[in-house]
Amino acid sequence: MLPVIALVGRPNVGKSTLFNSLTRTRNALVADMPGLTRDRQYGIGQRGPRPCVLVDTGGLTGDDEGMDGLVARQVWRAIEEADLVLLLVDGRAGLTAADEEIASQLRRAGKPLHLVINKAEHRDPHLLSAEFHALGLDYLHVVAAAHNQGVEDLMEAVLAALPTPDEAEADEATAEPAEPTIKLAVVGRPNVGKSTLVNRLLGEERMLACDLPGTTRDSVAAPFERDGQRYVLMDTAGVRRRSRVSEAVEKFSVIKALQAIEQSHVAVLVLDARQGVSDQDASLLGLVLDSGRALVLAVNKWDRLDPDIRAQVKRDLDWRLNFLDFARIHFISALHGTGVGELLGSVREAYAAATRKLATPELTRILEEALAAHQPPLVHGHSIKLRYAHQGGQNPPMIVIHGNRIEHVPESYRRYLTNVYRKRLDLWGTPIRIEFRGGDNPYKPASAGRGRPKSGGRRKTGR
């Protein structure tokens, strides 16, 4: 197994900046304000002699109440699962009482501990080291994470202090999984229960979850396995209307949520049963469909609703979401677990449909049967000729249909063909895109049709 290294410290000392530098990504939100990171963020270290798992954490303030207390619980969970802890301090601010208290707590935790003095650009490393020696830690490193200064040396020293896995463990860590990993984005408006659902699926308090909109700010990935299938769950920040997104950090959070949708195979859209389907929900669904991602709907907070209200919610769903007749709908309680176990079955079904390989003969045969049952309308007295079909892409499935006068195919006939292909191929849970193309058949043999004189023409005799 890869070693796990946790980055901890008080707020705004550069933990997320170092995380991004070590993973060579921009997965962690970074801004010049304290308290930005709240949940645990995982990544694979790309610097140093060998890979490792890095865990970015929120800042420790010493407060055990409210949001700071929830963040602290996440930090200590990361410390418990880590093989080594990096305590970050701010070289510009110097040694603080908060640094001393955190170092004291970490020593009592009994984990291997290294001190990292960050923001050390343009400063004498020897003077910085002398100031922070008061913490009494044996291992001390001076870096400037924002400028990638000292990070390579840091990881060489840190990884050298950890045991090297034997060859069997290394082979296991690098082996390809038997089943592909399904990337699953959990999206929705603020405070609909996304983090609670993720925690329920993972079986642990992996994400901060409280009755406060905007708790999740970043898109946080959490790998897990269920029934032999590997998943990566991505909890995302709640997406609000643009007119209500004013804070700069929240704007970046929305961007991260949209990026998580693009990177996923399947999106689970969480709706609040007590609030029904809003225009904002419909807009978010449009973003998911535009990206082409497979989709599963989870109507949360279904427990304790009166039967009359449940019936009204279902009628509302049928009316507002009639364009999503391909998506499975689950009525759940993420808090109590009701109905949550069936979600992953629909996720697997949607992923299989979105990534399925479709044979050209089968697609063409279905097209011919659809044409026999219902021809496209005439255009100025001329018929539209649709000749054959083949697959043009996956996730979402794209079916390319070749023919003549394809620019006159009405949208209603495109929907008809989409429904035919969905039912015949059992492609549920994913949108289907149909593209019409004119021109010759690229599958026709190059010699076909050659060597014959045109009608009414004369053969040359060479005389």
Residues 322-357: tens digit of each pLDDT = 888 899 999 999 888 899 889 999 999 999 999 999
pLDDT of 157 > 50? The answer is yes
Mapping DSSP to helix (H, G, I), strand (E, B) and coil, where does residue 432 land?
coil
pLDDT tens digit string along 53-89? 888 888 887 666 666 677 788 888 888 888 999 999 9
Q: Is the pLDDT of residue 410 over 60?
A: yes
Q: Which of 450, 412, 29 is nearest to 252 (CA)?
A: 29
pLDDT of residue 364: 96
Cα(172)–Cα(169) distance, rounded to whole angstroms?
5
> Do residues 256 and 79 make contact, with C-beta atoms less than 8 angstroms apart?
no
Find out whether 292 and 327 touch, Cβ atoms under 8 Å: no
Distance, in Å, from the CA atom of 110 to the CA atom of 195, rounded to the nearest integer, reads 30
User: Could you tell me how far CA 102 lies from the centroid of its own chain?
Assistant: 33
Distances (CA, A) of 150 to 117, 191, 372, 389: 10, 41, 70, 56
Token couple for 142? 């001076």
Tell me what the mean pLDDT of segment 430-455 comes to. Answer: 64
Among 131-145, 187-201, 401-415, 437-451, the minimum mean pLDDT is found in 437-451
Q: What is the pLDDT of residues 193-213, one digit of tens each?
A: 887 888 888 876 544 443 434
Q: Which residue has the tokens 């496209």?
A: 376
What pLDDT score does 453 carry? 44
In whole angstroms, what is the distance from residue 315 CA to residue 284 CA?
20
User: Which residue has better confidence, 442 or 208?
Assistant: 442
Judge whether residue 301 has pLDDT over 50. Answer: yes
pLDDT grade for 294, boundaries at 50, 70 and 90: very high
Of the given ranges (268-277, 349-358, 389-398), which has the lowest mean pLDDT?
Answer: 268-277
Lowest mean pLDDT among 83-97, 183-197, 439-453: 439-453
Q: Give which of 230, 228, 227, 255 is closest to 240, Cα–Cα.
A: 255
Q: Which of 256-265, 313-322, 451-460: highest mean pLDDT? A: 313-322
**Mean pLDDT to the nearest integer, 161-180:** 57
Of the two residues 198 and 456, the one the predictor is more confident about is: 198
Distance, in Å, from the CA atom of 23 to the CA atom of 420, rounded to the nearest integer, reads 46
CB 201 within 8 A of CB 250: no
Q: What angle do CA 229, 232, 235 make, to 5 degrees?
A: 140
Distance, C-alpha 178 to centroid of its chain: 21
Mind listing the pLDDT tens digit for each residue in 6-45? 999 888 898 888 998 898 877 554 444 444 445 667 777 8
Q: Going by DSSP bridges, is the β-strand pair 398-404/385-393 parallel, antiparallel, or unpaired?
A: antiparallel
Q: For strand 113-118 and strand 220-226, is the pairing parallel, antiparallel, or unpaired?
A: unpaired
Confidence of residue 253 (pLDDT cuts 50, 70, 90): very low
CA 400, 405, 407, 410 torsion: positive or negative?
A: negative
Report the amino acid identity of residue 50: R
Nearest to 198 by CA among 321, 55, 396, 40: 40
Among 1-10, 63-72, 390-399, the minimum mean pLDDT is found in: 63-72
> What's the rounded Cα separation, in Å, for the pair 56 and 53?
10
Q: Give the model's pLDDT for residue 122.
A: 83
End-to-end CA distance of the chain: 83
Element at 79 (helix H, strand E): helix 66-81
Q: Give the per-residue pLDDT at 295.
A: 94
Average pLDDT for 152-176: 69
Q: pLDDT at residue 381 above 70?
A: yes
Q: Tell me the pLDDT band of 429, cut-offs 50, 70 and 90.
A: very high
Report d(CA 67, CA 210) in Å as an integer: 9
User: Is the pLDDT at 434 greater than 90, yes or no?
Assistant: yes
Rounded Cα distance between 297 and 395, Å, is: 18
Torsion on CA atoms 145, 149, 150, 152, rounded to nearest 10: 90
Please report the DSSP string for 112-166 in residue order: -EEEEEE--TTS-HHHHHHHHGGG--SEEEE-BGGGTBSHHHHHHHHHHTSPPP-
User: Are 51 and 44 spatial neighbours (Cβ–Cβ below 8 Å)?
Assistant: yes
